[in-house]
Amino acid sequence: MTRIKKTFEDLKQSGKTALVTFTMLGDPDLKNSLKILKSLPESGADIIEIGMPFTDPVADGLTIQLAGGRALNAGANMHHTIDMVRKFRKTNDHTPIILMGYANPIFVYGYEKFAQDASDAGVDGLIIVDLPPEEDADLREYTKKYNIDIIRLITPTTDEKRLAKILDGASGFLYYVSITGVTGAAKADKNALKPHIDMIKSHTTLPIAIGFGIKTPDDALKMSSLGDGIVVGSVIVEKVKDTGNGNIEPVLSLVKSLSNVLK
């Protein structure tokens, strides 16, 4: 059983919604980024999503764009991403790690080399936001070989015909983008989303994690009733940018406050 599947099944048995946290690799610098990463599980993160810094993050709002810029300025690259997961796995072999980013850096790295190195380091899944199902066959050939889940994005505009295409080859869980916009944008309308998410659930047994626009414990609690997990990114990244002095407690306190309402 994969770490992702086991985590969702264990949480379901205990009646808890998964908290998926996002931070950018190398933000605000490599040392503090690793320090935060290692501390997230004890603060309540059930699954960790790590952003792979890229120069053209078209799906991200300003907060995460700036985080990627800070990371690149600190020297972060794809090899650092793999190495940091490897360091994390020295003390944690149970928390799932998802890498989120864009196709270009992986293409340059080499699809098979990347999949092999990521798997060896302990990566569990990938979210490649600019690689639609029609274009990811070459990458999936190797992620399947090395047991890495391809986690697909679904939006409020996804109809049943498109859903069938998205589900073909998807694994791990589905990432439901709750708004039509970039990361860190306005909050979603829970009541408007429910019928659509119910439709998706009627077509798949994959867990659904809901992201974009979740900023507060109240937001987390409201959205947790719709899916199996919630994804929180921009508000955490806002706290991370001030941790260059080594004080990561504000980040961890925020994660704890989000986790506590999901119990």
By C-alpha distance, which of 147, 83, 94 is closest to 121?
A: 83
Contact 209, 231 (CB under 8 A): yes
| pLDDT the model gives residue 59 | 85
| pLDDT the model gives residue 187 | 65
Q: Which of 29, 60, 117, 219 is catalytic?
A: 60
pTM of the model: 0.95
Mark whether 228 is an active-site residue: no
Q: Is residue 72 pLDDT above 60, yes or no?
A: yes
List, in order of start, the domains of the chain with CATH numbers: 3-243 (3.20.20.70)
Which stretch of DSSP H or E encloses residue 240? helix 234-240
| pLDDT per position as a tens digit, 17-57 | 999 999 999 999 999 999 999 999 999 999 999 999 999 99
Contact 211, 230 (CB under 8 A): yes
| pLDDT per position as a tens digit, 214-248 | 999 999 999 999 999 999 999 999 999 989 888 99
Q: Which of 46, 49, 117, 238 is catalytic?
A: 49
| pLDDT the model gives residue 183 | 54
Contact 40, 12 (CB under 8 A): no
Rounded to the nearest integer, the mean pLDDT of the chain is 94
| pLDDT the model gives residue 52 | 97
Average pLDDT over residues 98-115: 97
Mark whether 149 is an active-site residue: no
Q: Is residue 78 pLDDT above 60, yes or no?
A: yes
Strand order across the beta sheet in which 97-101 lies = 149-150, 125-128, 97-101, 47-51, 18-24, 229-232, 208-211, 174-177, 153-154
| pLDDT the model gives residue 175 | 97
| pLDDT per position as a tens digit, 173-217 | 999 998 765 555 556 678 889 999 999 999 999 999 999 889 999
Average pLDDT over residues 122-138: 96
